[in-house]
Amino acid sequence: MTANWQTILKGCLKRERASQRKLYEAFFSYGMSIAIRYCADRDQAVAVVHDAFLTVYKKLDKYDPGQPFKPWFRVIVVRAALDFLRKNRKHSVIVELEDHTPVHGREDTLSRIGYQELLAMVLKLSEAYRTVFNLYVIDGFKHEEIADKLGISVGTSKSNLFKARAHLKRMVEESLLSTSSTKTYHA
C-alpha cells in the first residue's frame, strides 16, 4: 500500500472528512459494480454502497494495512447487500426445490454473449435467483454458505441457482435469435 493510501486510511481512522471523502471517491464505483448485481435498481445499489462505507469507517481499525484493501471492501459490500435484501425480504419470493424443472439444451449458450449484456440479464432475474446466482457464480460462495447467509435450505439455494441459469440461458437464446434475425446480409 502506498504512503498516500496509508495517509488516507489513517485520516479515516481519525474520522477526518477529507480522508473519508477521498476513500469514498476512490472506491464508490467499485462498490457500485458489486452492489448493482444484488439490487433491483440503482437507488438500492447506492443505499447498499453507502451502508458499506459506513461499515468501513466504523470497522477500519479491523483492517490489516498489510493486506489489499479491495478484497476487504468487497466482502463488506456483499455483506451490506445481503443485509439490505434481508431487511427488505417482505417483497421477495424464494422458490423452493419442488418447483425445480429441468431445462434441456446447449450448455455453452451463456458463453456466447458479452459481459455487459449478461449483467443486464442478471439484473432482470428475480431477487432470489439473482442473489443466489451472484453469491455462487460471481462471489464463489458454496451452497451451504449461501443457505446460511440467506436463511434458506441448501436445496433451495441449488434450485434457485439452477433456475437462474435456466432463465439466463433462455434470455441469451432469445437475444441471440433476435440479433441474428435482424442482421441483413448484402451480396
Mean pLDDT of the chain: 83
pLDDT of 76 strictly over 90: yes
CATH class of 97-182: mainly alpha
HEC readout, the chain: CCHHHHHHHHHHHCCCHHHHHHHHHHHHHHHHHHHCCCCCCHHHHHHHHHHHHHHHHHHHHHCCCCCCHHHHHHHHHHHHHHHHHHHCHHHCCCCCHHHCCCCCCCCCHHHHCCHHHHHHHHHHCCHHHHHHHHHHHHCCCCHHHHHHHHCCCHHHHHHHHHHHHHHHHHHHHHHHHHHHHHCCCCC
Domain ranges of the chain: 3-90, 97-182
**What is the pLDDT confidence band of residue 96, given thresholds at 50, 70 and 90?**
very low
One CATH from 1.10.8.870, 3.90.1150.10, 1.10.1740.10, 3.40.50.300 for 3-90: 1.10.1740.10
pLDDT tens column, 11-50: 999 999 999 999 999 999 999 999 999 988 899 999 999 9
pLDDT of 103 strictly over 60: no
pLDDT tens column, 104-139: 444 454 455 677 787 888 889 999 999 999 999 888
Output the pTM of the full model. Answer: 0.69
